[in-house]
């Protein structure tokens, strides 16, 4: 992702998106193009997230939404990306940086060929962009939780989307030559259930490993902080969130090991990659500079569950 704004590079270095992409989409079965797109996506997400959290650019998420909502075709998406530059009213540097990031991300994906010899090479891109749009929309929906009391259920409904596992699922499927529409409920409910469990697990992992930073910044957008807000003692809240993570993880492993054979044609490989998402995301978070606020004792407790 060349030609990025200057403020983007420290965020990218801190996030190390290439490391996450390597962990989530192993080279043993998935082409390098999928990892490249995954790294670009994670860089885009971290930059937009940081620009928005800093409060400098309230329009960042809205700009992404305008570009990525109601995508019907790749050509329509290209027009939407071009249209964000038609704004003539004054804008701050953060919004301009946001536009550059979106444009660079779109350009990188448009040039990527997972299977250069295949005539269906771009078929996965529409589903990928739709899932990116789902993530961005969920990030905007978090704004509705600010300055009001919200339940754990409300939070987790958003968390399983904002954790951003679904675009990785599309890339894993594309890399394995499988259908990439995650909303198409085909004849294997087990895999659909596993996808939702993976989203819940990775969402809880993010909340647990990023909790001390959230606590310091008084950010209630975190499962541990919600438990504390509702009266649970601090250490007990951390323990409860960790146990909830373990319960969902055990459910995923039970489905993977005892749920019967997945459909033929590469789905068995997808199941293995899907289960690997949970370990990959956790290990990335344990080593990422974005999460180096957790005490070594709490990290040890979490690592013992993996």
pLDDT at 124: 93
Does the structure show a pLDDT above 70 at 299?
A: no
> Each residue of 135-193: pLDDT tens digit?
988 988 888 898 888 999 999 999 999 999 999 999 999 999 999 999 876 667 889 99
Predicted confidence band of residue 131 (pLDDT cuts 50, 70, 90)? very high
Does the structure show a pLDDT above 80 at 264?
no
In the prediction, which pLDDT does 303 show? 57
pLDDT for 84 beyond 90 = no
pLDDT at res. 280:
94
**Higher-pLDDT residue of 279, 91:** 279
pLDDT of amino acid 127: 94
Residue 216 pLDDT > 90, yes or no?
A: no
Q: Where are the domains of the chain?
A: 1-148, 185-306
pTM exceeding the 0.85 threshold for the entire prediction: yes
Q: Is the pLDDT of residue 214 over 80?
A: yes
Of 45-49, 55-59, 124-128, minimum mean pLDDT range: 55-59
Supply the mean pLDDT for the chain. 85
pLDDT score recorded for residue 154: 95
Residue 57 has what pLDDT? 57
Specify the pLDDT at position 81: 87
**pLDDT at residue 90 in the model:** 59
For residue 293, is pLDDT > 60? no
pLDDT digits (tens, 9 = 90+) for 7-20: 888 889 989 999 99
pLDDT more than 90, % of the chain: 48
pLDDT the model gives residue 163: 92
Question: Which residues contact residue 291 at a Cβ distance below 8 angstroms, ignoring those fewer than 6 apart?
Answer: 209, 210, 213, 285
């Amino acid at each position: 992702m060349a030609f990025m704004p200057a403020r983007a590079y420290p965020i990218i270095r801190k996030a190390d998106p290439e490391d996450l992409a390597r962990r989530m989409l192993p080279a043993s079965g998935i082409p390098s193009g999928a990892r490249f797109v995954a790294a670009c996506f994670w860089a885009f997400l971290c930059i937009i997230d940081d620009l928005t959290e800093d409060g400098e650019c309230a329009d960042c998420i809205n700009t992404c939404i305008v570009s990525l909502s109601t995508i019907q075709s790749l050509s329509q998406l290209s027009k939407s990306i071009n249209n964000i530059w038609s704004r003539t009213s004054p804008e701050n540097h953060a919004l301009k940086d946001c536009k550059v990031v979106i444009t660079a991300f779109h350009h990188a994906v448009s040039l990527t060929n997972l299977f250069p010899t295949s005539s269906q090479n771009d078929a996965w891109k529409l589903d990928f962009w739709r899932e990116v749009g789902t993530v961005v929309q969920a990030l905007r929906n978090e704004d509705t939780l600010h300055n009001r009391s919200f339940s754990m259920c409300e939070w987790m409904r958003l968390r399983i989307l904002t954790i951003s596992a679904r675009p990785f699922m599309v890339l894993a499927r594309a890399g394995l030559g499988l259908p990439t529409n995650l909303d198409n409920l085909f004849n294997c409910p087990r895999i659909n259930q596993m996808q939702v469990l993976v989203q819940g697990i990775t969402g809880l992992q993010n909340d647990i490993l990023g909790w001390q930073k959230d606590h310091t910044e008084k950010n209630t957008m975190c499962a541990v902080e919600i438990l504390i807000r509702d009266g649970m003692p601090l250490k007990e809240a951390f323990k409860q969130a960790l146990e909830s993570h373990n319960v969902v993880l055990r459910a995923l492993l039970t489905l993977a090991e005892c749920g019967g054979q997945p459909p033929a044609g590469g789905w068995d490989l997808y199941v293995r990659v899907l289960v690997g998402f949970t370990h990959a995301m956790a290990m990335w978070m344990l080593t990422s500079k974005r999460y180096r606020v957790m005490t070594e004792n709490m990290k040890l407790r979490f690592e013992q569950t993996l």
